[in-house]
Amino acid sequence: MAGKLSRFIMTAAVALVLQAAISTVGVAQTWPTRPVRLILPFGPGSGADIAARLLTDKLQALWGQPVVIEGKPGGDGLISIGTVVSAKDDHILFFGPSSAYVVHPYVHDNLRYDPEKDLTPVAGVARVQVAIAVPSSLGIANLKEFVAFSQANPNKVSYGVAPGFSEFVFDGFLREVGLNLAKVGYRDITTSPMDLGENRLQLVMMSYAAMRSHEESGKIKVIGMNDQKRSPIAPNVPSVVESGYPSLVASPILGFVGHRDMPLALRQKIAADVVAVLQDKALGERLSLTGQPVAPMGVEEFGAGIAEQHAQVARIAKVLGMARKN
C-alpha cells in the first residue's frame, strides 16, 4: 500500500512539473499579449535611449505590440530598477547597461533588492563604449596631461561620472594615481557634457554615445576610451590601456533584464528575437556609430558577462577598502 502511495505521489509530482513546463512554453509562445514597456535608467539622448529607439520599430513589427520607452533617470538607477523589480510583470523590462546595477550592494545601505537574485538576464545588445573628455579650452591632450593638470591645481578640479560601474572604476583610478577631485552629482548624467563645454567641470566620464555631439561641436575633447584598444569610431583617441591606466577599463553590457521570476523559456524567446533583430546590418552600423558596438548575447552569455562585472566590482571594492553592504 505504501509503495502504491509513493508511486502515486511521484506520478502526480511529475505531472505537475510537466504541466508547469508546458504552461511556461505556452506563455513564451503567446508573449507579448499587450504593450511592452522598456524602463531606462537615463533620460533622452543617453546611449541606452538611442539604442532603444533604434530597436523599437523592429521589435514592434516582430512582436505585434507597441514597445514603449520610459526613461526614469535619477536615484543611481534605483528608480528604474525598482519599477521592474516591484512590478514583477513579464511585459516590463529594464533596458540599460550592466553598470547601472552591479555596484549597488557596495554603495547603498538598506538596498531593497539584490541585483544577483532579483534581476535576471534576458538578452545582451551591445558593449557600451565609455569615454573620458575634458573642456577643449583647457588644451589638455591626453590622460597623463590631465593627471599633471590636476596635481598642479589642487582643489580646483571637478568632474562628473556616470553613476554605478563607471563611477566605481573612476574612484579606483583616483586612488591609484593619488588624486583628490571634487565629484559633482547629476540626476541625469547626460546633461554633464554641457557643463563640461563651459568649463564648469574639468572632466566627464560616461558613454561616448552621449558625448559625441558635444565633441563634434568642438567644445569638449575626448582624451581616452575606456577599453583595451582604440575604438574604430574614434581611431585618433588612445585607449586607457595605451595611455598607461589599465585600471580605467570599463565596458558595460547594454541589454534587457527581467524580474527574478521571469520564466526561462520566455527569456530565451525574447533573447532569440533580439539576437535576430541585431542581425540587421544597417541597425548594427548605426549602433556602432553611437559608440555601442553590437554584441548579441543570449540568456547564458549575457548572464556570464554580468557575473564577470560583479567580480570586477568586488576586486575594485577591495582596493578601495569597501565592504559589501547588502
Residue 158: φ, ψ to 5°: -125, 160
Q: What is the pLDDT of residue 26?
A: 61
Query: Residue 62's pLDDT band (boundaries 50, 70, 90)?
Result: very high
* Domain map (residue ranges) of the chain: 34-128+252-320, 130-248
Ordered alpha helix ranges (H), 92-142: 104-107
| Structure confidence at residue 3 (pLDDT) | 56
**194-244 pLDDT tens trace:** 999 999 999 999 989 889 889 999 999 999 999 988 988 889 999 999 999
CB-based contacts of 157, cutoff 8 Å, min separation 6: 149, 150, 179, 181, 182, 202, 203
The domain defined by 130-248 folds into: D-Maltodextrin-Binding Protein; domain 2 (3.40.190)
As a whole number of angstroms, the distance between CA 69 and CA 83 comes to 13
Rg value, the chain, Cα: 22
pTM for the full predicted model: 0.79
- List of residues 6+ apart from 215 with CB closer than 8 A: 133, 221, 222
Note whether 206 and 130 are within 8 A (CB).
Answer: yes
For cell 588624486, name the residue: 179
Categorize the per-residue pLDDT at 19 as very low, low, confident or very high, splitting at 50, 70 and 90: very low
Please determine whether the domains at 34-128+252-320 and 130-248 fall in the same fold group of CATH: yes
Q: How far apart are CA 318 and CA 235, in angstroms?
A: 34
Q: Which CATH number fits domain 34-128+252-320: 3.90.1300.10, 3.40.605.10, 3.40.190.150, 3.40.50.970?
A: 3.40.190.150
Asked if residue 324 lies in contact with residue 317, where contact means CB atoms within 8 angstroms, the answer is yes
